[in-house]
């Protein structure tokens, strides 16, 4: 499966667009729509076109991971929600999550409720993460 425009829109909404490198609430140097990595350096600046290109490139990595990790059929909404979740938290978080275990056991409602548990950064509940997880849950169930 591939991410739909709804999935990209969800990521863009919650990541926000930053054209200059900054440190995110999780403590990582970030640019564009949540892009991290060795190419993000203090003082780096990009334009919106480059931000979108980085996002599309980054999402491909999470598409591969979600497609490999999920063993049950998914709707587009489920897939997009898992891409947003993984993009924000990393594929390793999804791989080791109760969310994935419940989904792969075909308990979709229980899996959907697991999104809401992932609303902390550095041990603190963040309103933005709470809103994001609620949006991901809603899309997952759509």
Q: What is the domain-level CATH number for residue 77?
A: 1.10.530.40
Residue 5, pLDDT score: 97
Q: Which two tokens stand for residue 20?
A: 């200059």
Q: Confirm whether 15 is a catalytic residue.
A: yes
Boundaries of domain holding 18: 5-141
Instruction: Provide the phi-psi class of 107: left if phi over 0, else alpha when psi is between -120 and 50, else beta.
Output: beta
Pick the catalytic residue from 15, 63, 114, 136.
15
Sheet of 18-23: strand order equals 18-23, 29-32, 35-36
Q: What is the pLDDT of residue 71?
A: 98
Residue for token digits 């993460």?
129
Specify the DSSP element, H or E, that contains 139. helix 127-141
Residues of the chain with pLDDT under 50: none
Give the tens place of pLDDT for each residue, 61-76: 999 999 999 999 999 9
Number of domains the chain is built from: 1
Q: What is the Cα Rg of the chain in Å?
A: 15
Quick one: tokens of 117?
A: 């548990």
Integer Cα distance of 14 and 140 in angstroms: 16
Count Cβ atoms within 10 A of the Cβ of residue 39 and give its class: 0-12 exposed, 13-18 middle, 19 or more buried.
exposed
Q: How far is CA 124 from the centre of its chain?
A: 18
């Amino acid at each position: 499966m591939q991410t739909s425009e709804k999935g990209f829109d969800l990521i863009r909404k919650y990541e926000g667009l930053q054209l200059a490198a900054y440190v995110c609430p999780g403590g990582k140097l970030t640019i564009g729509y949540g892009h991290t990595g060795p190419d993000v350096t203090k003082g780096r600046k990009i334009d919106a076109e480059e931000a979108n290109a980085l996002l599309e490139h980054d999402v491909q990595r999470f598409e591969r991971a979600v497609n490999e990790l999920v063993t049950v059929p998914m709707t587009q909404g489920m897939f997009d929600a898992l891409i947003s979740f993984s993009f924000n938290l990393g594929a390793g978080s999804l791989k080791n999550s109760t969310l994935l275990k419940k989904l792969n056991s075909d308990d979709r409602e229980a899996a959907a409720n697991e999104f809401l548990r992932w609303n902390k950064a550095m041990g603190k509940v963040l309103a933005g993460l709470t809103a994001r997880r609620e949006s991901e849950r809603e899309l997952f169930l759509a």
